[in-house]
Structures are given as C-alpha cells and as structure tokens.
Structure 1
C-alpha cells in the first residue's frame, strides 16, 4: 500500500549544536518540537520542529558525511539562504527573537512593498526575515520606489 504524501518544500538546517538550536527556536519563534533522533555520541542526526505552521528539519554538523567539510553557516562564512516568516504582530515576534539571542541584520521597518520587515541572524548563523503586511501597494508604486521616485 502506497503512503500518500503532501508535497512540500522544507528547510533542513545544519547547526553546531542541534539541541541548543531547538531550545533557541522554541524561545525565538515559538517552535514546537516534533522529534529528535540522536546518533552515536549524542549528536542529533535529525530533528523536526513546527515553526509558524511549517516544518523545519535540522541536524548537527557531520563533516564526515560532507567530504570532511563542516556545513554550518559559520564554517562556510555565511549562508545565501534566508528563511522568511510571515507573522502577525511582527514587532513583538521580532523582539522575542532578539530577546532569545538573535542579532539584528536589518532593523524592522515599514518597507515600500507594504510590509513591516526586518532580518535577524540566529546564534547558529542562519538568517531569518520577518514580515507583516501593513498596507496594500500596487505594482506601479513598487516600480516607482525601485527607481527612487516618490520615496
């Protein structure tokens, strides 16, 4: 019997200390832990969390599984990926993440595209943006703002 799946795209994060990352995500983003699978030596080979209605998977760094290279954002000198959260009460949620230990990359501000938006970095090197729509903006206004007109 085939198992029916719900297609999805899920971020899978590699971190230096998965157990600490889970604790951080619970405090910063109200994450709900679904499971954690420890491997030999206690490092987590897999964990999953619910964040903002979606699943996020994570694991400890295992350089031996990646050609001897660490795959954390800190080891790689950063990450080109930002995980975006659309939230209600963005000011409260942004501050909650800061209070939990996130650092501000881009301060929370009203943006020309209609969102109140900011970017944070978690203690493990991953970037998270948060946004909340605050006003309707039509495409012409966005295009004018991109050209530096009327902004």
Structure 2
C-alpha cells in the first residue's frame, strides 16, 4: 500500500515544556492539536499542531540527543528564525497572541511593503510575525522606500 505524501515545509520547534507550548499555540494562534507522543516520564518526543493551515511540529528539549547541549532559543541566546503567519484579521490575531502571553517584539503597524505587520515572541523563545496584506506595492515602490530610509 502506497502512502500519499504531499510536499510540505514544516517548522520543528524545540521547547522547554512542549505540553505547555501546545496549549499556548492553541490559545495564541488558534492552533489545533494533531497529536503528541510522550515518553514514560511525560516529556514529549514528538507533537504536532496545525496553525493557519500549516503543520508545526515540536518536542521537548533533549540535550542528551544533541551532544549534551540544549537547543531551545533561551539556551542559545535567542533565535535567528521568525515564523510568519499571513492572516485576514491581523489586529485581532496579534492581540490574541499578546493576550495569551506573547511578548511584543515589533508593534503592529502598516508597513511600506503593503502589509499591516508586527512581531511577537512566544513564552518559549520562538519569534512569530503576523501580517495582513492591505495594499498592492510594486518592487519599484519598495526599492524607492528603502532608498529613502
């Protein structure tokens, strides 16, 4: 029997307390838990949440599997990665994330590239941006705006 596989790109997050992260992503981003695989001690070796139509995989931190080093954003001093959500109601979604416990990194505002856009950091150190296209902007207009910055 062949398995039907659809090409996808899914972030896979490492967090301290994956069970709490699932609860946060459900509350903050309207995520839907797909499932979790716990070890006997309760730590999650795998979990998945659907957010905004995409799968986000996550697991608890297991330093014993990564040369004895934690790979969570706080242990690494932050993250260079931002997970972006394009939504149709960005003001409401941004506030929902903040109300759930996200920290504002960049306040929500209309941007020169045509989106209403802002960034938050979740309680586990991962950075999320939320954006809603509000007007069409050509690459020429974007380049002109950048040259005036």
Offset, 1:2: 2.9
Corresponding residue for residue 69 of structure 2: 69
How do 1:105-124 residues align onto structure 2 when only pairs under 5 Å count? 105-124=105-124
Aligned to 2:41: 41
Structure 1: which 5+ residue stretches go unaligned? Answer: none
Superposition map of 1:79-90 within 5 A = 79-90=79-90
Aligned to 2:9: 9
Runs of at least 4 residues off by over 3 Å = none
C-alpha separation in 1, matches of 2:144 and 2:118: 22
CA distance in 2, matches of 1:42, 1:96: 28
- Please state whether the residue corresponding to 1:123 is helix, strand or coil: coil
How many equivalent pairs are there? 149
Is the partner of 2:41 in helix, strand or coil? helix
Gaps of 5+ in 2: none
Distance 1:116 1:71 in 2: 32
| Structure 2 residue 53 is the aligned partner of structure 1 residue 53 | yes
* Structure 1 CA distance for aligned equivalents of residues 24 and 48 of structure 2: 14
TM-score, normalisation: structure 2? 0.98
Measured on the aligned residues, the alpha-carbon RMSD in Å equals: 0.9
Distance 1:107 1:66 in 2: 35
